[in-house]
Amino acid sequence: MPKFHFLATDGMTKIDGHKYPHCDTPIIKYDPDKVYIQAVDNKGLPLSEMVKVNDTVCVGTVLGIRNDFNLPVYSSVSGKVVAIEKKTSTTVGRLVDHFVIENDKKYTKVNLPKLTSRTKEAVVDLLKKGSIVGLGGAGFPTFIKYNVKPGTVIDTILVNAVECEPYLTTDYVEGARSVNDMFYALPILMEIVEAKQAIIACKENKKHLIDAIKNAINEHKEVNAKLVLVKDRYPMGFERTLIREVLKREYEVLPSECHVIENNIQTLEAAGRLFRDGEVITRRVITIAGEAVATPNNYDVPVGTMLNDIVVNNGGYSCEEVKVINGGPMCGKAVLTTEIPVLLQTGGFTILHRYDIKAEPCWKCGACVDHCPMGLQPVQIQMAINRGDVERCHDLQVEKCVECGLCSFVCPSHIDVSANVSKAKLMARLKFKPGVKSQKEEQREKIKASLQKFKDLFKKKTPEEKKLIEEKKKEAKEAKLRSKQQKQEVKQTEKEGN
Ligand code: SF4
Ligand code: SF4
């Protein structure tokens, strides 16, 4: 159990969502002339079994295999591979090779075989072949979550339809549009992990999505699914905060430790289409919003579409100097170009006016501590990492940080506290494996254990013995006080002598 600071907001900070009006306008379908699909995995290593320049591809043709998780990378359009070019990758963080595919706009498609067997092996294998990853932004392979170790008890699949990040509304619009696909996947996934229930968590103010989920639950009464409404607070949609809010459970490293698998709503919808039709993810609905775009909206685009291409062909930018954030403004990462292709896990882009604010020194106001949903002390962690004390960061439980960005958001000195905490988290993870204790932690535990031992021994004493011990303790305390006073008197005399 993490230690909570007594002022921690526990995921209950109200921030402006900036979700209107684009959450209520129709999704715009956009088909680019070219798509750019990453030819390397998330570690930057080239894909294996890659197609070549001049090869003809269909929607669903395997372009190569990722080496990190052995997941296939699929073409999102039909047409021809015309080049391999360097483009910015938001996962690798630098320029890497991308397949450039000319879109013939015919969308000739090849699907995978549908799911025919409901065994765990068959389902996990199809999730892997279908390259289903977390569509809430993390991009973590879904097959790993469902390939639970024997003996692990999973009682709940928690569907995350909260989308607490400001500006982004893709789960809201696409989640509602394809909710029935999720109900195709849910019973299959519940069966393979023997989960008793599915809980769909949604914000209480997302009326359209709530109605869609309620209708789907009524239509699929055979699935033990229920809707739980949560408050419009940030960061309610993070795995840890949501599990705590909905199920009142905590975990150290993985939600399976507290018998939960958590998935984004769109991930399960994609899994449903894969199981039912053999369809892999080749299109995404993404939000492009923020004060620096002329028409904030949700766009249905093939994976690999360039951000700049979408914006320029749909109203353009509203100013010259823009700041592009991959994702939402709270935990998204700023990128220095608009030439970024849409990835499988892209939920959207926030485009704001570019302005630079100079950070001032920390004045120890404690706002970052008050607002941290994990009960951490970001200011202390920041000070520790600035002096290179990784052990202290570990002691302060930096590994519990969910990287929500709230500490930076509330800092009146405009310090990017969360960036410092993220750095500390990375360094602590490298130094301390999960479950490994720091020296200070071990010392504390030893002291705690010896105190406990003393308390247990004390309980076993007779009333007379207890009285004697209390008297001795009192005497020792008085002697300590006397010696302290004597020392002070000596010091005082020395001072006066000088
Ligand atoms: S919010 Fe900023 S100024 Fe206040 S204690 Fe935290 S780091 Fe310091
Ligand atoms: S980024 Fe980490 S330290 Fe900062 S508020 Fe969020 S959980 Fe707390």
98-153 pLDDT, tens digit each: 999 999 999 999 999 999 999 999 999 999 999 999 998 888 999 999 999 999 99
What lies within 8 Å, CB to CB, of 437 at 6+ separation is 445
What is the gyration radius of the CA atoms in the chain, in angstroms?
A: 28
Q: Considering only CA atoms, which residue is closest to atom 2 of ligand 1?
A: 411
More confident residue, 182 or 354: 182
Judge if the beta carbon of residue 424 lies within 6 A of ligand 2.
no
The verdict on pTM exceeding 0.75 is yes
The two tokens of residue 127 are 């999730």
With beta carbons less than 8 A apart as the criterion, state whether 179 and 173 touch: no
Residue 393, ligand 2, Cβ within 6 A: no
Distance 371 CA to ligand 1 centre (A): 11
Domain boundary among 253, 277, 301: 277
Q: 129 lies in a domain? A: yes
- Asked which of 249, 277, 305 is the last residue of a domain, the reply is 277
Edge-to-edge order in the sheet of strand 333-335: 28-29, 297-302, 283-289, 348-353, 322-326, 333-335
Contact 406, 376 (CB under 8 A): no
364 occurs within a structural domain: no
Amino acid at 181: D
What is the rounded distance in angstroms from the CA atom of residue 117 to the CA atom of residue 126? 10
Residue 345 counted as domain residue: no
139 found inside a domain = yes
Token pair listed for 290: 């923020």
179-193 helix and 120-129 helix, angle to the nearest 10 degrees: 130
- pLDDT band per the 50, 70, 90 thresholds, residue 10: low
d(CA 254, CA 2): 14
Q: Is the CB of 364 under 6 A from ligand 1?
A: yes
**Residue 57 lies inside a defined structural domain of this protein:** no
Least confident of 8-17, 345-354, 368-377: 8-17
- Per DSSP bridges, beta strands 56-57 and 62-65 are unpaired
Domain annotation covers residue 314: no
Last residue of a domain, one of 227, 242, 277: 277
CA of 440 to the centre of ligand 2 (A): 23
pLDDT score recorded for residue 3: 40
Residues in the chain: 498
Check residue 498 and give its pLDDT: 64
Whether the CB of 11 sits within 6 Å of ligand 2:
no
- Inter-residue contact 395 to 440 (CB < 8 Å): yes
Q: Is residue 188 part of a domain?
A: yes
- Pairwise CA distance, residues 467 & 457, whole Å: 14
Contact assessment for residue 228 and residue 187, using Cβ atoms and an 8 Å cutoff: no
Ligand closest to CA 367: 1
Task: Give the residue carrying structure tokens 């009524």.
Answer: 218
Q: How many domains does the chain have?
A: 2
- Domain region containing 489: 467-498
> Token match 């823009």: residue?
322
pLDDT in tens, 26-38: 899 999 999 999 9
CATH number, position 161: 3.40.50.11540
Asked, for residue 77, whether it belongs to a domain, the answer is: no
Q: Regarding predicted confidence, which is higher, 43 or 2?
A: 43
